[in-house]
Structure 1
Amino acid sequence: MSAPKQIFVAVVGVGGVGKAFLNQLDHIRQRLSSAPVPVALSLVLVRRSTKQLFSRDFAPLDIPSALSKLDAVSEPQQPFPDTLAALARAPGRVILVDNTSDQALAETYPSILSAGLSIVTPNKKAFSHSHALWQAIQQAAANGTGPATAGHVYHESTVGAGLPVLSTLKELVDTGDRVTKIEGVFSGTMSFLFNSFMPVGGGGGSFAAEVTKAKNLGYTEPDPRDDLNGLDVARKLTILARLAGLPVESPTSFPVQSLIPSELESCSSGDEFLTRLPEFDSRMEELKESAAKEGKVVRFVGSIDVGAKAVKVGLEKFDASHPIAALKGSDNIINFYTERYGGNPLIIQGAGAGADVTAMGVSGDLLKVVRALQ
């Protein structure tokens, strides 16, 4: 029996998603080591913003104890370009797992891929920034139009956490189906917020109260304005639109409705914003009452009309019987309207946020790269 194929894993970012990923990585490592065609998956780098643990001789780090050993590191952190150069000299292929939302790191993806390192990531910045960066990543990747010696790149969890949104869209396009429209609720935060603010059947609290509740439950960013400005959803729509064939320039190149009252855009902190938000509850209450009179509910959605080349993000009204209206909790729902599926869309629905499910999307991408490298 031949020796297992050696693949090295470097993890950058060990917050909630990074920790969940490391737990899943240990399970994957054990499964691959005993597979019919075994793979030796070795963790060699764990890095956070202030320190890193790097196995310079590429001996595998113990995954369960990696974070405690990282905490104990005392020497100055090596500049990341130097670490990347060292990884490129590994005695085998390397998969870089970027669990950050770092724009500067995202902009280096083309050079990382060209150096032969593969990338799996939930970092939306890389794929929703300028169209030029998106093109450069596709041109550098082996699973894009780059050479076979380049790295592969997968980013399923940039849109639906662990939901198979991007892989489904890619398969529709690659098999010749024509996508006409994509519509859905793409934010677990906004899903929870509007399911609480205006549940089907009536009721719900004031908008400010529901925003505060969502923050206290951990559904929003530390500053809720980062959710309410709509840019997170706009980044996801940008990624989907590009995969559907629309050369969208950036998340700010199409209409994005912000739910931040203009009077509160200059608040100095998220806490000040939440304190003052009740002053503007009447505006959202009017919207709720207007929808209720029509027998509808209000939801925060994104849509892509491929034929019209139109992308938009904002509030829309839906009949109570519509799948988007019937969402529960913080679930996401994405409807693909295509020629093959006719009037009944292909629907993907489920948890669209959370460390474990996002890490699952990253882990699934890791396995795709492993299969590609075997």
Structure 2
Amino acid sequence: MKVLKFGGTSVGSTKNINKVISILGAYSITDQIICVVSAVGGITDRLLKAGTLANQKDKGYVAEFEAIKKTHFNLVAELIPKQNKSVLNHVENTLLELKSLLDGIYLINELSPKTSDKLVSFGELLSSYIITETLKNQKANAELKNSQELIVTNSNFTKAEVDYSLTNKNIKAYFKSIDHKITVLPGFVSKSKIGEITTLGRGGSDFTAAIIAAALKVEQLEIWTDVSGMFTANPKLVKQAFPIEKISYQEAMELSHFGAKVLYPPTVQPVFDLNIPIHIKNTLKPDDAGTIISKNSTNNKAPIKGITHISNIALLTLEGSGMVGIPGFSKRLFETLAQEKINVILITQASSEHSICFGIETKDAELAKNTLDATFENEISLHKINPIILEDNLSIIAVIGDNIKNHQGVSGKMFSALGKNNINIRAIAQGASERNISAVIADKDVKKALNTLHERFFEVKTKQLNLFITGVGNVGEKLIDQIEQQHNFLKKNLKIDVRIVGLANSKKMIFNAEGINLSNWASQFHYADKSSLKGFLNKVIALNLRNSIFVDVTANEAVAELYADYLKNSIAVVACSKIACSSTYENYKNLQDLSLKYNAPFLYETNVGAGLPIINTLNNLVASGDKVTSIQAVLSGSLNFVFNNFSDHTNFHDTVKRAQFEGYTEPDPRIDLSGIDVARKILILARENGGIMEIEDIQNDSFLTPANLESKSVDEFYKTLKADEAHFQKLYASAKAKNCQLKYVAEFKKGKAKVGLREIPEGHPFYNLEGKDNIVMFYTQRYPEQPLIVKGAGAGADVTASGLFADIIQIANK
């Protein structure tokens, strides 16, 4: 004999009911089958809504009733298309009884727990009847048995307690006498000893099946639902979640209690002592393995079996110095909650006895606070304790596994992973069994927390990075291309899964929480939303994805002004723009502080030298205890390109034009040629070396003429370059006469910095610097005579993009 239970979604449509009948037919070939069914999917909620509307004198209950009626009539018409008159009559009579009950609730304005139980029982009674008649219509040897005639309870309406002595006696007697192959039973419903209709609690159909299975001592109980077993996490929130092959009764109860809806927690109890396995199966995919719940399923290699959560939690705290050393506070607290029938989900108490905090459902929060404030009114008035503190919009997350106690560091890994994503923990609880570690967090962080923990405990140590890129011009495009090209390599070799989730240009922005398809990302902008800097920020915050990184590939001051907002929301920032780090020292320092405070990396290697590891090298020198005494550098690939290509055979105007055309200067070349760009770079290096400096402190010896510097537009600037060609030729001639090269040099020494055009003699490390290359020489206590030199391409889209990419990978490795 086998006991199978089918949930609401399994009997929620004609298609699914036919799948159920097919499963029952296959099983009944070799076994006698007991089939427990829930109400048709969504009907219990509709019944409760109709009852609530009727109780509120809202005639909308009639529309709800009509919807319920239509659902069941449609099922009969589709499942039993011919000779269904008697079936329709029975269903119609049952529905008339339901309508009469709803009318009564409307007239007397009363919906007691007793009436509620009678109301919701119609769902299972209707579904079980229709399924039985469908089986008979298909020539199956099936009969319907009303569970209310078998399961006896007390009168605790809406969640009645079973009298197992009478119930087991009834079940054994009935099934001893039957000879049909399939018995269909409505789940959830029961009757009290005095014949009143009761129910076993929401999800009680599982419980019904377990009661039957235990009474008959069957070999296995099967729970058929719409998923392929109990998952490592909620698959709707964690895409990488997968079914758990085997799990213990205790683990299953913990997962169910903490939000895994596949199994109703009381289901386990009747079969636990008899060691009857529970097999969770998928009606829609009957060949899937599912999950087996039994006594012995511990895997020593996997301390964590699942991660789950409960939403809509409120945290209440009772605290005060008057509690210390005084017995009875806990007793009074929980007695008060018990009298109001408020269920406590989580409890934690400080060892100092100074406070007790507990988690309850949000719907009970105000009642709990008001009642407890009244209970402790005297102590509150005497300032021995504080009024109850109430916090809502919270959830409980829990990692669960029988073998947590045998593995060191599970809690450390859990809290470390959450901390790195700046998920604030309001309370922590761990039972003495060490089977469950629970934490209270904000509702908004649940998805991020579940994915973070699943990645930490279940995935092959692959770290997912979620990128949001603003600025998809030349450098931005190269960065996207590099990410697409390296994606598989990074995932396979470095265990890093880099996804671009958001992209924005000056006009449009696109998002995809599952990752933008990089093979056609540009075309997606045709149908994108209008771009907004604040809108982009708000969307990134709303998505709240783990390991989020904002990448700024613009030269937009308004974008740089938002870095602080990203960091405050624990979103790492990778900046190509120098604007933020070369702004006021106060802003620079604030961004560094926010990065530390919110555990959100702020990296900007490309601010100096594009893809060259200049800032990283300097930071490593400082961190290792070395002291940088001076810095000499050629930091402008643009200016180096210009002066390497300018001679007495060319003119300065055309050389600058060429540099701009080939992408070595900003769209406004005045930024490069004025020296302000180099000044910003040496300022950043000075600050990274501990200097407290402003841009005004940098001595800028410009080689441009007053006319160049005073030009009002780019076009006017180019005109002045032509007009002042003699000036630039004079600079070149002077250097050539001394066998020197013209280089725009930045220097930092003894707390002072300057930038300007220098004549570099032959033999100097700067002399043979070619093309767009940059070079930095660090003189330190460890390198006093022969400096540490970093040299290479310091401009260009490819190398700048690679520098940004390197910063992104560095964040992944933290």
Fold shared by both chains (TM-score > 0.5) = yes
Which whole-Å CA distance do the structure 2 matches of 1:61 and 1:291 have between them? 52
Residue matched to 1:44: 501
Residue 115 of structure 1 contacts residue 150 of structure 1 at CA under 8 Å; is this kept in 2?
A: no
Residues 214 and 82 of structure 1: CA distance in aligned 2, closer, same or farther (over 3 Å): closer
In structure 1, what residue type is equivalent to 2:518?
A: I
Any residues of structure 2 matched to 1:1-374 within 5 Å, and which? 2-3=458-459, 4-35=462-493, 38-55=495-512, 58-70=513-525, 72-77=526-531, 79-89=532-542, 90-141=544-595, 146-147=596-597, 149-197=598-646, 205-250=650-695, 252-305=696-749, 307=750, 309-372=751-814
Tell me the distance in 1 between the aligned counterparts of 2:633 and 2:726: 26
Q: State the secondary structure of the residue aligned to 1:190.
A: helix
The CA distance in 2 between the partners of 1:216 and 1:123, in whole Å, is 20
| Rounded Cα–Cα distance in structure 2 between residues aligned with 1:239 and 1:347 | 18
Displacement, 1:328? 1.0
Judge which range, 206-215 or 173-182, deviates more.
206-215
Q: Which residue identity is paired with 2:516?
A: L
Letter in 2 for 1:15: G
Residue ranges of structure 1 left out of the alignment (5+ in a row)? none
CA 1:296–1:88: 2 relative to 1, 3 Å = same
Query: Aligned partner of 1:51: which letter?
Result: K
The one-character-per-residue Cα deviations of 1:309-358 (angstroms, maximum 9, x if unpaired) are 11001011221111111111111111111111121111111110111100
**Higher normalized contact order (CA 8 Å, seq sep 6+, divided by chain length):** 1
Structure 1 range deviating more: 83-92 or 170-179: 83-92
Larger Cα-atom Rg: 2
1:84 match: secondary structure: helix
Q: CA RMSD in A?
A: 2.1
- SS of equivalent to 2:524: helix
User: What TM-score comes out, normalization by structure 2 length?
Assistant: 0.42
| Partners of 2:463 and 2:812 within 8 A in 1 | no
- C-alpha change, 1:261 and 1:52, in structure 2 (3 Å) is same
Looking at structure 2, the residues matched to 219 and 5 of structure 1 have their Cα atoms a distance apart, in angstroms, of 35
Identity of aligned residues (%): 33
Partners of 1:80 and 1:216 in 2: CA distance: 29
**Residues 113-149 of structure 1 deviation map (CA, whole Å, 9 limit, x = unaligned):** 12110111211111111101100011011xxxx23x4
Q: Aligned with 2:698: secondary structure?
A: coil
- Distance apart, 1:265 and its partner CA: 3.4
C-alpha deviation, 1:264, in angstroms: 3.5
Q: CA–CA distance in 1 between the matches of 2:747 and 2:572? A: 31
Structure 1 residues 33 and 245: alpha-carbon distance in aligned structure 2, compared to 1, 3 A threshold: same
Aligned partner of residue 126 in structure 1, secondary structure: coil
Deviation per residue, 1:2-37 (Å, 9 max, x gap):
22443311111100111001111123432233247x
Amino acid at match of 2:560: A
Per the TM alignment, residue 204 of structure 1 is displaced from its structure 2 partner at its CA by 5.1
State how far apart, in whole Å, the 2-side matches of 1:276 and 1:7 are.
48
Secondary structure of the structure 2 residue equivalent to 1:31: helix
Distance in 2 (CA, whole Å) between partners of 1:40 and 1:161 is: 24
Where in structure 1 do 4 or more consecutive aligned residues deviate above 6 Å? none
Structure 2 counterpart of 1:65, one-letter code = N
Contact 1:44 1:60 in 2 (8 A): yes
Moved more, 228-237 or 203-212: 203-212
TM-score of the superposed pair, with normalisation by structure 1: 0.88
Q: How far apart are 1:74 and its partner, in Å? A: 4.8
Gap change, CA 1:53 and 1:213, over 3 Å in 2: closer
Asked if 2 retains the 8 angstrom alpha-carbon contact of 1:225 and 1:260, the reply is: no
Whole-angstrom distance in 1 between the partners of 2:699 and 2:562 = 29
> Quick check: 43-52 or 275-284, which moved more?
275-284
Aligned-partner Cα distance in 2 for 1:80–1:279 = 41
Q: Structure 1 pair 217/85, CA: closer, same or farther in 2 (3 Å)?
A: closer
The structural deviation recorded for 1:61 is 1.4
Contact 1:52/1:73 (<8 A) preserved = no
Unmatched tracts of structure 2, length 5 or more: 1-456
Kindly state the Cα deviation for residue 288 of structure 1 after the two structures are TM-superposed: 3.1
